[in-house]
């Protein structure tokens, strides 16, 4: 794995998976806010994304300090692993004016909407009755 340059976003993994998403976000915010201003905490609970999160700091120094200090810190009795995020977070991109919506994400969302519409039309039948 190539070295990832320091940036404002840290990627945290090996998190306790049974914690509800909002509680996880609050706990991470409380744990990492001692290092500096936090712009965003992104934690998803999908099957593929559970147990990991991204914490976005206002500056690189805070993110670096948090990464170095909290590496292997026991969070709900599991040692967390931290590295810098591979890409710039949306929160940072919006602040510096370089944000561009992800076309692939938009395309997938549109396809999912179409699929849902087709399924709901199929359930109603040709006359529109359910």
Task: Note the pLDDT tens digit of each residue in 24-68.
Answer: 999 999 999 999 999 999 998 776 788 999 999 999 999 999 999
Model confidence at 95: pLDDT above 50: yes
Element holding 117 (H helix, E strand): helix 103-124
Q: For 93-101, what is the mean pLDDT?
A: 79
Instruction: Give me the pLDDT at residue 126, please.
Output: 56
pLDDT at 130 over 60: no
Distance of alpha carbon 130 from alpha carbon 115, whole angstroms: 18
The yes-or-no verdict on residue 106 having pLDDT over 80 is no
| Res 122: pLDDT | 67
Please list the residues that pair with 82 across neighbouring strands: 12
The residue that leads in pLDDT, 30 or 116, is 30
Q: Which of 60-69, 73-82, 87-96 is least confident?
A: 87-96
pLDDT for the residue 1:
46
**Do 51 and 62 contact (CB within 8 A), yes or no?**
no
Share of the chain above pLDDT 90, in %: 55
Quote the Cα angle for 106-49-6, to 5°. Answer: 85
DSSP H stretches of helix in 45-101: 60-70, 90-96
pLDDT at 123: 61
For the entire predicted model, the pTM comes to 0.73
């Amino acid at each position: 794995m190539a070295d990832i340059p320091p940036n404002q976003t840290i990627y945290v993994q090996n998190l306790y998976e049974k914690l509800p998403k909002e509680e996880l976000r609050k706990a991470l915010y409380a744990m990492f806010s001692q290092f500096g201003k936090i712009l965003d905490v992104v934690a998803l609970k999908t099957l593929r994304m559970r147990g990991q999160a991204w914490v976005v700091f206002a500056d690189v120094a805070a993110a670096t300090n948090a990464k170095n200090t909290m590496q292997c810190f026991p969070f709900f009795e599991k040692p967390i692993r931290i590295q810098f995020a591979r890409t710039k977070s949306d929160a940072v991109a919006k602040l510096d004016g370089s944000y561009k919506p992800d076309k692939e994400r938009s395309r997938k969302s549109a396809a999912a909407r179409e699929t849902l519409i087709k399924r709901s039309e199929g359930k109603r039948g040709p006359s529109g009755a359910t």
